[in-house]
Structures are given as structure tokens and as C-alpha cells.
Amino acid sequence: MATKKKTKKMKKMKKNVYFFGGGKADGKAEMKNLLGGKGANLAEMAGHPNLRIPVPPGFTITTDVCTYFYKHNGKYPSGLQDSVNAAMKKVESLMGKKFGDPKNPLLVSVRSGARQSMPGMMETVLNVGLTEKTVKGIIEKTGNPRFAYDAYRRLITMYSDVVMEKAAGIEPAEGKGIRRQLEEILEKKKEQRGVKLDTELDADDLKDVCQKYKKKVKQVLKKSFPDDAYKQLWGGIGAVFSSWKGKRAISYRRIENIPDEWGTAVNVQTMVFGNMGENSATGVAFTRNPGNGDNKFYGEYLINAQGEDVVAGIRTPAPINKNSQSDHNKNLKMLSQVMPKIYKQLDGIQRRLEKHYHDMQDIEFTIEDGELYLLQTRVGKRNGPAAVKMAVDMVKERLISKKAAVNRVKPEQLDELLHPIIDPDAEKLNKVIAKGLPAGPGGASGMIVLDADTAVEWAKKGKKVILVREETNPEDVEGMRAAQAILTARGGMTSHAALVARGWGKCCVVGCDGLDVDYSKKKVKTGGMTLKQGDWITLNGSKGLVYKGVLPMMDATRENVILNRFLKMCDGIKKIKIRTNADTPEDARKARDFGAEGIGLFRMEHMFYGEGAEKPLFKLRKMILSEGEKERKQALKELYPYVKKDIKGTLAAMQGYPVTIRLLDPPLHEFVPHQQDQLKTLAKSLKVRMPDLEKRISVLKESNPMMGHRGVRLGVTYPEITEMSVRAILEATAELVKEKKKVFSEIMIPVVGADTELWDQKEVVDRVLKEVLKKYKLKSLPIMVGTMIEIPRAALTADKISRVAEFFSFGTNDLTQMGFGFSRDDIGGFLPAYLDKKILPQDPFQTIDQDGIGQLIKYGIERGRKTRPGLKVGICGEHGGDPKSIEFCYLAGMDYVSCSPFRVPIARLAAAQAADCK
């Protein structure tokens, strides 16, 4: 009866401790949630029949225990102690040693291990089990007192720091932490002995250091360092669980979106030592080169060292084989030479691991007195070019499917293949002087210039410049083009600077709040530092960071053949089309090269920016400042040939792929010049006096231009503007048809809020169409007429709007602006606080706010298609290039997304990944 009861109770009790070692394991790789990533992989390596790799035996205490620990005020579930003792017995019998035994002691490590790797964020205690008695046992067993006392002093340092101070919630004053105080003792010892390195201290020195350490611990923390193996073990376990709620771990979880409830597992594992002499070593290796993706075993090691020495950078690690040689280490002996047998064994293991996990592995190994042990395996981190190469190669090697390959590369990683980037190693060594929003990808260095004219002038002299402005406007465009990169103090991800830079694929950082630009003194202040015009800075436009001076760049574009192969793979999987936002024939061609399947947004007014645009810009300005229909019609007539030429060039470059051309949508005042000489020329051309021209300019000023006289409103008030634009599109199309070229034009009317606005404009389009057909003797033209949905009211009345519109293109820049009521150019002032306080999970101008703006989109599509089934729908706001938003657009039923040319490859990949989730 009693036995039955006990069995029942045992059955009810959850298994909290999982053993691994000696070719067996209770757990496996799939149990990451319960055992953490590290524990699950250790179990897999130890126990899976295909692997059975030598890992030092040990056991994992589950993440459930961590949850229990927090729910019950730091208490453990009943029975945990028994389970730990039982697991320890198994380890002892495999190792032929005993934990806490004075003659033949077993030492263990106690480490954290969450579901998702949180490198360096939680605590570790090594060499647990060393006491006054066992240290003697170790000396006897190894005959190496120096090694034993070195291990002992490391334990005292780690234990007092991690368990007795941090886990106990003691927060010492700066520089007064126990670790620091112990390190001072070691420094003093070295000074006394006249040596520089720890390794130059002998056994007696270290023995003395250990005694001094213990005294110090008692004096500072008012408790003795425990001289009992099991006390140390439980102290270590508790400290690792506590470190889940340490400051570092919490902030890392916030950044990586790791839920607090997950908890960490604790891994208790036999210590193996790479520092037991010349026959011992420790190292880190990758099954493929993580820097370039080459399918070659790659790694570094140190003879007679512990893991932390490899990371500490005091000694230069040696290459494990020829593949791992560099200028830096080529004179050091390779593992394949020094320990050929062990190298062969390691090589065999890495092959098996990669085949088993179907991915590149990052492994840690230790050789203890000629015996190889694997301490860890995990999926290895890799840069963009390496990720793409590995994905393509692994498909070729039949190691993974195409679908898996497509999911192996993060869309943002493709950025690294399309632009030069700052060498990541150099970035680590330099201090960030200002932070803003990552508006244009890649890295760039240049001299600070504070105005567009100087940027052009300096660039002409062959100087590299970075244009630094409070914010930019169309007048700065020449300077923006001439600059290597653009940096602004204000503005958000859809501000003028961001939009233009992204379109060109130019490095750009916007909304750098801490930046104080003083145009009159030609100085820039940031974080207590003053820089002047001409000083060098470097930008990381992919992360929004600014550095002082010149940082080295890396050109990552060399893998383009492989990139194309990878993107073709994506095209085979994706189900949504990718178009581009392009405003010139040149951009259109570039986008075609990147794989764009059409233009989703040709902003007519962008034709007037930049190189060679002086003449049409002048005509546009003349049109804007003309008074009365007659004067305006004359200006439009003069403008017409330029507009038509550009549109025709772009349509031709797209070779029959659809091109959505948006009618003029400029907040008019943006195009009014400020320079006196330009104003004078305009006055002359319009035949008016300067004071009259100035009056006309003041009339154009609006208090809120974003909601002012723009878009369709311009066409309603001045139908002749619509007429000119539509005629340019239709005649360009007709001429290409006559030239037997493939062409398809989509006329798009912006800033529509009511169907009646659209009906009004449709009349103009129909009238011009009739005239053009007659002129070119054609029956029809390959065109469509549609609208942007960028005002919330348009989304809400989409069923009416789609009666007249043949297609919808969601303008999510304005839809977000008007849906949230956030000015897209002024968001820099408050967005950082919103993100910090988690009021918003992300910048809504970068990633679609699915709960709000996303609902408007879904509703708009549904209503639009109710009236017009099969309505063509796309997106042309900046979100069209954002991977998360692309997934949303696909799931919402859009036919295409449109983004800047340089984001087309990223969108192709994101679309392929999205296709996998429906």
C-alpha cells in the first residue's frame, strides 16, 4: 500500500532534472523550452544515436524550476534536492570521481541557459567543488599545485561576485565591487613579484592570493566563502536563477522581445580543463566560415588555457587548420599540426554536427590532457554575405530545402550585400557620438558641411562630404546628391531627407535629437562635443549611429552572383509582386536590375529634383507662381515637354511592366526658391515686379501644408494641371505603342478623401484620353486610372471610391500621418520617448501599425473589392520595403508592394518568407 502511494506521488511529480553523458541523455534538441538552448543541445550531443559525442557529463535543471523559484520567493519544488543528488551520483560514477571528495574530487560548472541565447547576460560559476580539502586532492591527482590554486582563486572571485554579492542584491559603490577588490590583490601580488602576467605567478603566489581573497571576502561581505562543495553548488544554482532577473538580462530581453516568463535552465556539468599543461587546450570553431560562408571548417584555439582566456584577448589564439590562418595568426602552430589525432576527431565531430542540425554550428571544445570534449554547440551567427552563401550552398548540397534556405537569411542582412558597410570590428572600438533613425542603409565617411552649395562645391573638388542639416528640403537636393551621406537633427523615417536618401540608396541618419546645428558659426554640437565644418565623421545608416573620424569600410557586394541565385530562389516561393518607387529612367533601370516587377510610385514632382533638373524646375516654379488660368496654362505648356520626356523614358525602361504615375502632389511652397537671384529671374520671366512676386509667394504659405492645397485638391482647383500631367502620360504611352514597344501606364490620383473628388478628375482624364486617341489614331491605350488610399476617410468609403478607381495604392506614409495625427516630419521630437516607454512597439512610419492603420487597410481592401471584385491593390508608402509590413500586406490580400530600388531585393526575400506563413 505504502509503495503504491509513493509511486503515485512520484508520477505526479514533474521531472525537474535531466541527466546527460556517457552516450545517454534524458533530454533532446526539441526540448529547448524546458531545458534551454544549451541544455537541449548538450542532451542531443550526448544522447542522440547519430551523435554520441563526448561531452562532459552533467545535468540540466529545467526552466520550470526557475518559474517555480520566482513564484515561491526563491524556494525550490520539493524533491529537487533528491533529483540533483541522484543526477550527481550518475555523473560521479561516469567520471570515477566524487563531488566534495578530498582525495578524488569532481569539480563542476554551473551555467545559465535560456530558450534563446542571451550571450553574457546571465551568470556562470566555474570550478565549483574546490575547498581547502579538495584543492589538496586536486594537487595530488594532477601533481600541479599551480593549476589547482589558479582554479581556486578563479572560483573565489566568481563565487563571491556572482553568488555572495550580485545574487544577494548587494549594490556596491562604483569600483568597490568584490571582484574589483580581489583583482586589486592579484595586481598587488604581481607588482610585488615584478611580473606582468597572471601566468607568471607560481603556485605559492597563488596559494597566498587565495588566502588573501578569502579574508577580503569575509571582511567586505561579512560572510565566509563556503568551504563545502554542496553549499557552493546550491549557491551557484540560486545565483544563476536569480540572474534571470538581473539588470543586464532584463534589458536584453526588452531589446530582443524575450518574454519574462520563459525563465532560464541551469546546467551543472563536469569541469574539464584546457589549462592542465601542454597536452591541454581550449577553442572555438565554426563548421563553416561565418565571415564569408565558405564551406570550410574554421576556428581558433589556445594551448594550456581556459575558455575565458580565448575571449579575453590577452594571448593571440592560433588557427586550428590552414583555412583559419590569417596575417594575424599565421606564425602560430595549427591544431592540425600540434595534435593531429585530436584534430581529426574534432573534424569528424563537426561534420556530424552540421549534418545532424542542417545548419552551421558554433562549437566550443576543450582538450584535457589529450582527451577531447565538446562543451557546446549552437547555430552560429553569421553576417549577410555568409548567410546568403551558406543558404545557397546548403541547397546545392541537399542539406536543406529551398524554403528552409529562404528562411535562413534575415531580410535586413541583404543590406550588407548592397552597400558598403562599416567594418563591424572597427565599430566596436569606437564611441557613438550621436544616435538617430536609420534612414538610408550602409556606412559612409565624409567631412561635415552645413549647406547644400558647399557640399556641391567641395564634392566637385573631389572631397568627400556629409551634409549635416537641421532638416532638408527640395532646395538641398543637389547637395544631398553630392554628399556621401546625409545627417539631420530633425525628421522621421518618412521625412524629406529619409525619403530621398532611401530612394537613392544613400546612407542617411535622421532625427538625431541630440544634434545641435549652428549654421552661423558653422558648428555642430553633440553630447558635449563640438565639431566644425570640415571635420570628419562616419555614419552607420543601417543603425542610425554617428562616429567621430573615419572608420574603415567593407565592400560586401562581391557575392552578387550568389545573391542573384538566392533571390531567384525567393522569386520561386513568393506570391506577391515587388514593384519599386522610382522617379527617373535611371532609377527605373536600376530597379529592374534589382528585380522590380513594375513601378508602384512615380512621384511626378520628384522629376524636378537633382541633376539636370534646373530647367523643368524653373518652369514648375513659374507655374506655381503664376496668377490666373491664362498665365498658368502658358507655364504648363512650357513644362509639358520635360514631363513627357521623363515619363516616356521611364515607361520605356520598364519594358511593359506596369508603371504607376502619380499626378502632381507637392505642397506648393516647398518649390518656391529662397535665393534672390532665382527670384529675380522668375519675376522677369513672369513679367512681374519683385514686390508682386513676393506677394504671390506669401499667398502660397499655408499653416499646415501637409493638409493644405495639394494632391487632388490642386487638380480640382486647377484642372489644367491635371490635364497637362495626364496628357504627358497618355501621349508618352501612345508614342511607345506606336513604336511597338511594350508599355502599361497607371494614372494615380493622390490625397483623395471622397469619391466625388475622383469623379471630378476622371472627367478630365476621359476628355484628354479621347483627344489623345484621336491624335494618335488609336482605339485604346494600355492604361488604368486609380487612386491612392492615404486619407482615413478614403479607406472608410473605399466601396464608393472603387466604383471609379480601377486600382488602389495605399499611401501608408500619409495614412499613418493622418490616422495617428502624427506629423511625419516632426515625429523625431517625441518618437524616442514613445519607444523607450513602450507606448509604441515600433516607429509606425517604418512598420505598419497593424492594430490601427492596418485595420484601415484591411477594411479598405475588403470594401473596395466588394464593389469591384478583383480590384488591383498595392502599397507605395515607405512600409512597402519593411519585411514585417510586407508580410502584413501579403496576408491582407495585396497584389504587390512597392519600395525604393535598393530595398527590392530585401522585399523579394521578405515576400518569400511571408508566403510560407499562410
Residues lying near ligand PEP in the complex (CB under 6 A) are found at 601, 603, 665, 790, 811-814, 876-877
Check if the beta carbon of residue 72 is closer than 8 Å to that of residue 42.
Answer: no
Question: Residue 131, Cβ neighbours under 10 Å: how many?
Answer: 20
Is 889 a catalytic site residue? no
Which CB sits closer to ligand PEP, 134 or 813? Answer: 813
Q: Which does 812 bind (CB under 5 to 8 A by kind): Mg ion, ligand PEP, none?
A: ligand PEP
Please say which residue, 471 or 790, places its beta carbon nearer to Mg ion: 790
CA distance 859 to 793: 11
Alpha carbons within 13 angstroms on the beta-carbon side of residue 413 total: 19
Give the cell for residue 133: 580539502
CB-nearer residue toward ligand PEP: 217 or 876: 876
Q: Which of 419, 496, 606, 879 is catalytic?
A: 496
**Residue 599 C-beta: closest distance to Mg ion, Å:** 16
Alpha-carbon torsion, ordered 427, 432, 433, 435, to 10 deg: 120
Query: For residues 363 and 416, what is the distance between their CA atoms, to the nearest angstrom?
Result: 25
Nearest distance from C-beta of residue 658 to ligand PEP, angstroms: 16
Partner touching 721 among Mg ion, ligand PEP, none, CB below 5 to 8 Å by kind: none
Residue closer to ligand PEP, measured from CB, 567 or 818: 818
Q: Provide the minimum distance between the beta carbon of 663 and ligand PEP in the complex, in angstroms, as a whole number.
A: 12
User: Residue 616: in which H helix or E strand, if any?
Assistant: helix 614-624
**Burial environment of residue 628 by CB neighbours within 10 A (0 to 12, 13 to 18, 19 or more):** exposed
Q: How many CB atoms lie within 10 A of CB 333?
A: 12
CB of 788 to ligand PEP, least distance (A): 7
The residue nearest Mg ion at its CB is: 814
Judged by beta carbon, residue 574 or residue 824, the one nearer Mg ion is 824
CB-count burial class (<10 Å; 0-12, 13-18, 19+) for 681: middle
The partner residues of 547 in beta bridges, in order of sequence, read 432, 538
Question: Can you tell me the distance from the alpha carbon of 451 to that of 469, in angstroms, rounded to the nearest whole number?
Answer: 7
Nearest of 792, 803, 786 to residue 860 by alpha carbon:
792
Looking at the Cβ atoms of 498 and 915, the one nearer to ligand PEP is 498
Active site (annotated) includes residue 570: no
**Between 706 and 891, CB nearer to Mg ion:** 706
Relative to beta strand 108-114, strand 264-270 is antiparallel
Which of 287, 505, 507, 299 lies closest to 386 in space, CA to CA?
Answer: 287
DSSP string of 539-555? EETTTTEEEES---EE-
Query: CB-wise, 682 or 791, nearer to ligand PEP?
Result: 791
How far apart are the C-alpha atoms of 422 and 444, rounded to whole Å?
A: 7
Residue 39 or 811 having the CB closest to Mg ion: 811
* Segment (H or E) for 647: helix 628-653
Identify what 434 binds: ligand PEP, Mg ion, none; CB under 5 to 8 Å per kind.
Answer: none
CB-CB contact of 869 with 893 (8 Å):
no
CB of 662 to Mg ion, least distance (A): 9
Contacts 24+ apart (CB under 8 A), 828-831: 828/436, 828/437, 828/489, 828/490, 828/491, 828/492, 828/495, 828/510, 828/511, 828/513, 829/490, 829/513, 831/437, 831/492, 831/511
Min dist. Cβ of residue 665 to Mg ion (A): 6
Q: In the structure grid, which three cell numbers stand for residue 32, read together?
A: 529547448
Which of residues 499 and 509 has its CB atom nearest to ligand PEP in the complex? 499
In the list ligand PEP, Mg ion, none, the entry touching 603 (Cβ below 5 to 8 angstroms by class) is ligand PEP
Provide the minimum distance between the beta carbon of 784 and ligand PEP in the complex, in angstroms, as a whole number. 18
Q: Is 776 exposed, middle or buried (0-12, 13-18, 19+ CB in 10 A)?
A: middle
User: Would you give the distance in Å from CA 684 to the centre of its chain?
Assistant: 52
The distance of closest approach from Cβ of residue 860 to Mg ion in the complex, given in angstroms and rounded to an integer, is 15
Length of the chain: 918
Terminal CA-CA length for the chain:
55
Residues that bind Mg ion (CB under 5 A): 790, 811, 814
Rank residues 315 and 709 by Cβ distance to ligand PEP and give the closer one. Answer: 709
Q: Of the residues 570, 876, 889, 899, which is catalytic? A: 876
Q: Which residues contact 19 (CB under 8 A, 6 or more apart)?
A: 25, 26, 57, 58, 59, 87, 90, 91
How many angstroms separate the Cα of 609 from the Cα of each of 89, 467, 500, 670? 76, 17, 10, 12
What's the rounded Cα separation, in Å, for the pair 792 and 854? 11
Contacts within 8 Å (CB) and 24+ apart, 446-449: 446/483, 446/484, 446/485, 446/536, 446/537, 447/533, 447/534, 447/535, 447/536, 447/537, 448/524, 448/531, 448/532, 448/533, 448/534, 448/535, 448/536, 448/537, 449/479, 449/483, 449/533, 449/534
Which one of Mg ion, ligand PEP, none interacts with residue 877, CB within 5 to 8 A by kind?
Answer: ligand PEP
Query: Which residue number, 377 or 660, has a Cβ lying nearer to ligand PEP?
Result: 660
Name the minimum Å distance from CB 790 to Mg ion. 5
Listed in sequence order, the residues at least 6 apart from 874 whose beta carbon sits closer than 8 Å to its beta carbon are 577, 579, 600, 660, 807, 808, 809, 810, 880, 894, 895, 896, 897, 898
Q: Which of ligand PEP, Mg ion, none interacts with 601 (beta carbon under 5 to 8 A by kind)?
A: ligand PEP
Q: How far is the CB of 917 from ligand PEP (least distance, A)?
A: 25
Q: What is the C-alpha separation between 569 and 564, in angstroms, rounded?
A: 9
Q: Which residues contact 396 (CB under 8 A, 6 or more apart)?
A: none
The percent helix, strand, coil of the chain (3-state, each to 5) is 50, 15, 35
Q: How far is the CB of 811 from Mg ion (least distance, A)?
A: 4
58 binds, among ligand PEP, Mg ion, none (CB under 5 to 8 A by kind): none
Shortest CB 603 distance to ligand PEP, Å: 6
Tell me the catalytic residues. Answer: 496, 876
